[in-house]
Amino acid sequence: MTKNTLNDKEMQEWIETEWGYEKLPMGGSVPYPGSSKFFKTGDWSPFKAVVDREKCTKCTTCFFLCPDSAIKMDEEEIPVMDFDYCKGCGICAEECPSDAIEMKDLTK
Partner 1 sequence: MTKAKVTKGKRIGMTGDEAVANAAAVINPDVVAAYPITPQTIIVEHFSDFVHDGEVDTEFVCVESEHSAMSACVGASATGARVFTASASQGVALMFEILFIASASRLPIVMSVANRALSGPINIHGELTDQTVCRDTGWISLFSESAQEAYDNTFLAFKIGEHPDVSLPVMFGLDGFILTHALEGVFPLDRKFSKDFLPEREMVHPTIPGNPVSSGLLALPNYYMEVKYQQELAMDAARKVIPKAFEEFGEKTGRYYKSVEGYQMEDAETALVTMGALSGTTKFVVDKLRKEGEKVGMIKVKTYRPFPADDLAKALKDVDAVGVIDRDLTFGAPGAALYTDLKTSLYDYKDRPQVFGYIAGIGGRDVLVKDYEYIYKQVLKNKGAEKAVPVEWIGLRK
Question: Could you list the residues that contact partner 1 (CB under 8 A)?
Answer: 1, 3-4, 18-21, 24-35
Quote the least distance from Cβ 38 to partner 1, whole Å: 12
Residue whose CB is less far from partner 1, 20 or 67: 20
Closer residue to partner 1, CB minimum distance, 48 or 87: 87
- 10 Å CB burial of residue 82 (0-12, 13-18, 19+) is middle
Q: Which residues of 46-77 are buried (b: 16+ CB within 10 A; e: fewer)?
A: ebebebeeeebeeeebbbeebebebbeeeeee
Least separation, in Å, of the C-beta of 27 and partner 1? 4
Q: State the nearest-atom distance from the C-beta of 52 to partner 1, in Å.
A: 36
